[in-house]
Amino acid sequence: MKTKTLSILTILLLSFFVFSCEREIEIELDQSEESIVIEGIIEAGGNPRVLVSKNRGFFNDFPSDIVALLDTFILQNAVVTVNDGQTTYPLTFVLNPFEYPFAYYTTTALVGEVGKTYLLTVQALGKTATARTKIPPPVPVDSLYFGINVFDINEDSLGFLYAVYQDPDTLGNAYRLYAKKSSETQYFPVSGAITNDEFINGRLVTFFSGQSDKPFGVQDTFIEQDFFYRLGDTIQIKFCSIGIREFEFYNTFEAALGTNGNPFASPIIIKTNIEGGLGVWCGQSYFSDTLIATN
Amino acid sequence: MISLQKSFSLKPKYTLLILMLFAAFLSAEAQKKHTISGYIKDESTGEYMPGANVYVRETKQGVSTNVYGFYSLTLTEGKYTISVSFIGFQEFVQTIDLKADQRININLKSQSVQGKEIEIVDTKLENNVKSTDMGRVEVSVEEMKKLPAFFGEVDLVKIVQLIPGVKNAGEGNTGLYVRGGGPDQNLVLLDEAVVYNAAHLLGFFSVFNSDAVKTVDLHKGGMPAQYGGRLASVLDISMKEGNSKKMQVDGGLGLISSRLTVQGPIKKDTSSFIVSGRRTYIDVLVQPFVKETSPTKGSGYYFYDLNTKVNYRLSDKDRLFISGYFGRDVFTFKSKDSGFNIRIPWGNATVSTRWNHLFSNKLFLNTSLIFSDYQFESNVEQTAFKFSVFSGVRDYNGKMDFSWYPNYRHTIKFGANYIFHRFTPNNASGELVGEPFELGPPERIFAHEGAVYLSDDFDVTEKLRIHAGLRGSIFSQVGPFTRYLKNEVGTTVDSVIYAKGDPIKTYPNVEPRLMMRYTLNSKSSIKASYTQNYQYIHITSLANQSLPTDLWFPSTELVRPQFGIQYSLGYYRNFKDNAWEASIEGYYKEMQNQVEFKDGTLPANGVNDNVDNFLTFGTGEAYGVEFFLKKSLGKLSGWIGYTLSYTNRTFPELNNGQTYFARYDRRHDMSVVLTYELNKSWTFGTVFVYASGSLMWLPTNIYYFEGKPVLQYGERNNYRMPAYHRWDLSATWTGPKDRKVRSSWNFSIYNVYSRLNPFFIYIDPEGDLQSGNFKNTAKMVSLFPIIPSVTYNMSF
């Protein structure tokens, strides 16, 4: 809520001073050195999928088309391995033009198992990045239901997805919700539907969310109604259990997206579980369910 | 622990100081002595005059009146010529034959009342060279009114920002950064009551209504022992007492606000009152132009201040003062379509009750009971949903301050102070369809703060004068309190509950203060000072700007008191019969236990947790040199100041442990402030400021995660904004003084050459990736181009 207050104050500030003006300025800054960026997931019952990319100068010009853009960021010649405590599996680069991520490293030889710890090693840009993650056990969702958005009095068919689950007694459980409508091909994480059990340990928890947040390349235009579900939608969910360090990455990552470019907010430094790189290597297991939105 | 060891190792020095204090008494000659004492007042209004100079020509010794206008001088029997002076007033001279104690109350006449120019050599001006004060500047409120005003509002804090060593927090902002210190390191006092948030409208105006203010006194270094609790400065503001001679009404109409002050005697020469109010009226002026059908009808913003004070002379020895301040900013937003209502009020309230008592003509006591409160509230309402966030700080404060004038060589001050603090960190309450929903119990933090002090300002030899002071302070956080304990990844795993009144953590400390003046000749001197300060309450902000949501929080078992040491050395010289005062002052400051949020702290993290769990601690350093040239007498008056300064911070957990420059590290800072009195009717004023840009923390790199751009930040505060400079002009026309209604007009032009100064810089991602024209560009927002304004003032 504090963020909301701050933004209200920002509006006040800017609207009061009608005299204000803005202009573009040139900024020259020393760039940090290139880093490996990892977007890696190993799911219970699935193969590891690791997108390896790099960072770039902030004020640099961007390439003019999407292929060149991917080329600019994605590292295709990295050496990627995953060790499950016994065997080291090499991952190979695959292109995946119809789904996100469009290119990643994977292997069919390794399938994630609950309770196991996986060590990821990536060599690229003359550097080595490593990370460890453990797949926590899944937590079931007790019930799912649809609720009309009471905050908007002009709409009566838009609403949220509500989920109820029982948090286990042990502290240190964290969750991330993925969802899709039946008309969509792929699950995406729902922004804001990430939580840990710091305050809700062992309790019956209800939370609500809007639609999942699609990355660039999958959905490029977004109108406000896209945030809500509509009466009649068939909604499929994957309720993922993740580790605390992985949660901290996603939590700070989402907060950072929220403050990007806000001159009144202090930069949020994203917490990573990668040694020698950026991003996250996340082990997860999930519970899946389906809901048809009715009143 | 370092700080503690340091203070203990200084112990032999304290003993020496105390010995020196008392040795001075022993050496006093055994001749018959008598005391002259009394109050000095302004003849026309009956206001007591603090800081007036009482000078004995034969012995070339002098004292200044204290903040209540009282003085006391003890001399051996004999004939003396006493002169009393104050800038803008005629010198009072009286020859006395001192054979017994004498009470001499003096009324000073304003120079201008006479109607002819009198050029006097003002002995007060010798204070620049003769006093032990370092880093102290007094600014006259009357002078301020002749300077260019921003939107027609005379703002004393903005004038204080023009003093070398003081930096503003950005365009139009009344935040103060003194000698490399943070915004929470200034003790802002209004009639001794702490004002926790001295800003209106996000800092564009200060809460001080210049019509109600008598004096403004800034200590930026060499803080005397009677002050404490902040590292960087004291801004001590005294309210007027009210005219005790006749009823007086002053009013002003400005571009955005109006002011009205009524003052007068309740019983002539015995008691008086003053009531002064100010309110902005943009909201009122705009309303008629907002259509009834407008979806945001009823939205607006205003602020108001109310100052009031009464004083009563109970007897020749007792005076009572009661003063109060109440101010609020209110922002409302209404959206008919969505049924959305927001109301955000915030502001300060203070009440000071003070009783002056004279035990003898040498011993003066002031006892104060002070209440001070700052509150912020944000109420959001939408159909069936209500949500409020509130926070604040409240103090109950008791003080006793003695001034003892044993002989003319010594002015001894001692006293004690106790404050009970109540902090309200961010608390929230909510309601959905009439049902309250739980957001955790409201949290309050309680603490006791106490201090005792002793100081002596004395002449060791003809040339050497010393102010030696010692302050003992103690701070203790007490229950009720819940401490949330964390594991290594920052998850709350346990909590410790303290019952009401349980001591949680206590910090006792000793703060020595030493200032010295060595006279080189009648026109110049060298001064040096060493001060130690502890600060027990803190602000840290996630935002780049100072905001009304900034929270004060106390020292706890995790947050140790901030500790600062300041060394300063200066050369002072007066020219042309004291008409010009000049000084060069260098300073070096060390600060320990500085407070910042840890990297990655989110605004929501304070809920159901302790704010201090998200803090990290480090050290700071500041150094610089200040040049000051001031002219107080004559048709042309004003000052030129220049500061070269550096300030940095080192936090093991921030910026990879590397030292970085603080956000308000600004290398060069210059100001020129001048007024020229052309004739009785016209006075012209001008202000020019130049300051290096402040620092910002901008992203250096970008990467993509889940298809979204993520900004990567390099070294902290890696970008310096363009320099800030501005020129203002004003012309003030004052109507004839002999009329029943005296009126004056102030015409101001702010930012004459319309410089587009940086207010903030933001990143604008332009174009989109799909069409391939994406680029991040930096945009600089400037707030105020040239702004002319007119203010009308009247008095009858």
State residue B599's pLDDT score. 75
**Which residues of chain B form CATH 2.60.40.1120?**
2-130
Question: Is B584 part of the contact surface with chain A (CB cutoff 8 Å)?
Answer: no
**A265 to B769: CB separation less than 8 angstroms, yes or no:** no
Cis peptide before B652 (omega within 30 of 0): no
Question: Is B426 part of the contact surface with chain A (CB cutoff 8 Å)?
Answer: yes
CATH of domain A36-134: 2.60.40
**Which residues of chain B form CATH 2.40.170.20?**
238-795
Separation between Cα atoms, residue B696 and residue A260, nearest integer Å: 15
Residue B384's Cβ-count burial label (10 Å; 0-12, 13-18, 19+) is middle
What residue segments make up the domains of chain A, in order of their start?
Answer: 36-134, 141-264+285-292
Tell me which DSSP letter residue A34 carries. Answer: P
Q: Which residues of B416-452 are buried (b: 16+ CB within 10 A; e: fewer)?
A: ebebebebbbbbbbbeeeeeeeebeeebebbbbbbbb
Least confident residue range of B358-367, B668-677, B757-766? B757-766
pLDDT category of residue B13 using cuts at 50, 70 and 90: low
Retrieve residue B467's tokens: 């102010």
Interface pTM (ipTM) of the complex?
0.89
**B784 to A19: CB separation less than 8 angstroms, yes or no:** yes
pLDDT of A176 strictly over 50: yes
Q: Which amino acid is at A93?
A: F
**Which residues of chain B form CATH 2.170.130.10?**
136-237
pLDDT category of residue B398 using cuts at 50, 70 and 90: very high
Contacts with A, B 506-525, CB within 8 Å: none
pLDDT of B536 strictly over 90: yes
Chain B residues with beta carbon closer than 8 angstroms to that of A56: 701-703
Q: What is the pLDDT of residues B591-614, one digit of tens each?
A: 999 998 887 666 555 555 677 878
- CB count within 10 Å of CB B526 equals 15
Q: Which of B605, B725, B620 is nearest to B663 (CA)?
A: B620
Separation between Cα atoms, residue B295 and residue B333, nearest integer Å: 10
**A8 to B387: CB separation less than 8 angstroms, yes or no:** no
- The CATH classification of domain B136-237, taken from the options 2.170.130.10, 3.30.2320.80, 2.30.30.140, 2.40.50.140: 2.170.130.10
Report the pLDDT averaged over residues A272-288.
Answer: 95
CB B238 within 8 Å of CB B350: no
**A189 to B769: CB separation less than 8 angstroms, yes or no:** no
pTM of the model: 0.82
Report the pLDDT averaged over residues B9-27.
Answer: 50
- CB count within 10 Å of CB B313 equals 17
CB B69 within 8 Å of CB B49: yes
State residue B489's pLDDT score. 57
Minimum-distance CB partner of B782 among A3, A21, A31: A21
Retrieve residue B519's tokens: 């006279």
Residues in chain A: 295
How many Cα atoms are found within 13 Å in the side-chain-facing hemisphere of A159?
18
- The CATH classification of domain B2-130, taken from the options 3.40.50.150, 3.30.465.10, 3.30.1490.100, 2.60.40.1120: 2.60.40.1120
Categorise residue B548: left if φ over 0, alpha if ψ from -120 to 50, beta otherwise: alpha
Contacts with A, B 692-711, CB within 8 Å: 697-711
The helix (run of H) or strand (run of E) holding residue A129 is: strand A127-134
State residue B8's pLDDT score. 39
Between chain A and chain B, the number of residue pairs with CB atoms below 8 A apart is 244
pLDDT of B117 strictly over 70: no
Q: What is the pLDDT of residues B693-714, one digit of tens each?
A: 888 888 888 888 988 888 888 8
How many Cα atoms are found within 13 Å in the side-chain-facing hemisphere of A198?
21
Chain A residues with beta carbon closer than 8 angstroms to that of B761: 25, 27, 263
Report the pLDDT averaged over residues B466-473.
Answer: 95
pLDDT of A20 strictly over 70: no
Question: Chain B residue with minimal CA distance to A38?
Answer: B705
Protein fold of B238-795:
Maltoporin; Chain A (2.40.170)
